[in-house]
Amino acid sequence: MMIQSGGAEMPAEWRTIRSAPASGAYNMALDSALMAAATERGFGVWRTYAWSTPTVSFGRHESIRQRFTAESLAAAGLDAVRRPTGGRALLHDAEVTYSVTLPISDSTPWKAVYSAINNILLSALQSMGVAAELVPESATSPVRPDGPVCFEEPSPGEIVVRGAKLSGSAVWRERGAYLQHGSILLHDSQQRLQAAMIPSAGATVVPRAASLATCLPSVPDADAVATALENALRRALADRHSPGGSVTRDDGALPDAGLIGRHEERFRDPTWLWRR
């Protein structure tokens, strides 16, 4: 069963997963496997997770070889992975990461789904007392894949507080499925990206990002953020007056382990990481 949410056709049935911290390769593999399974399963999955070590993720089409090397990343104490989605370099550390996977019909514009999910993110953050707002479509131009790092410049539809980005997101759509994932910063540690860049990369300055630590009197833990996200998803379904809508916590709603493993092989492959 599908419902209309924010102009987008969205599943009425959802499972939520709260994953234990894991490596970058496993996290990206699990998101990819959830996407690959979405069409057959028919329901949406909202996952929140963390990273076992500070990890830089690069966008699918981002050019990185003129800015980073394996040695520069290691010297900065950072792991690295390339995402299955677009976007730019992002450090995953002291944050809550979310991913949304769902089936999508050919007639549904991906931007409609993107907007619906971002409004759920916004609702969750505002429910925690964050004075967050969405960047309007007319406010900025699209950012190039080889442009600045993720938190340097907000893109249309992303979430900011007083102009500083709080949550960055990346998307991919293929074979009747949609994946969106991104970060909600608990603390801002994005400046560590500068130390990981090679000297010839130039004077890229990573500005201060918004974080829950700077937006709230006390920093919520990851479970509190996950609960706010799940409740916002429930509100979005209720707002669509869907009698069959449901959101069920199911940490076991994972794809086949073999499927996850096959995807993990790609994300552990250096030729995928350093492809551009």
Helix (H) or strand (E) holding 67, with range, is: none
Q: What does the buried/exposed string (b/e) look like for 127-161 if buried means 16 or more CB atoms within 10 Å of the residue's CB?
A: ebebebebbeeeeeeebeeebebbbbbbbbbbbbb
What distances in angstroms separate CA 142 from CA 87, 108, 153, 156, 246, one per listed residue?
A: 10, 21, 10, 7, 35
Q: Which of 150, 196, 225, 226 is catalytic?
A: 150
215 is catalytic: no
The residue type of 235 is R
Taking the CB of residue 223, how many other CB atoms lie within 10 A of it? 11
Q: Are 150 and 66 in contact (CB under 8 A)?
A: no
Beta strands in 40-116 (DSSP E): 44-49, 55-58, 79-82, 90-92, 95-103
**Encoding tokens for residue 88?**
């730019």
The residue type of 24 is G
Taking the CB of residue 251, how many other CB atoms lie within 10 A of it? 12
Tokens 């949609």 identify what position? 178
DSSP secondary structure letters along 130-182: ---EEPPTTTSPPPPTTSS-GGGSPPTT-EEETTEEEEEEEEEEETTEEEEEE
Q: How many CA atoms lie within 13 A of 77 on its CB side?
A: 6
Which positions are catalytic?
A: 150
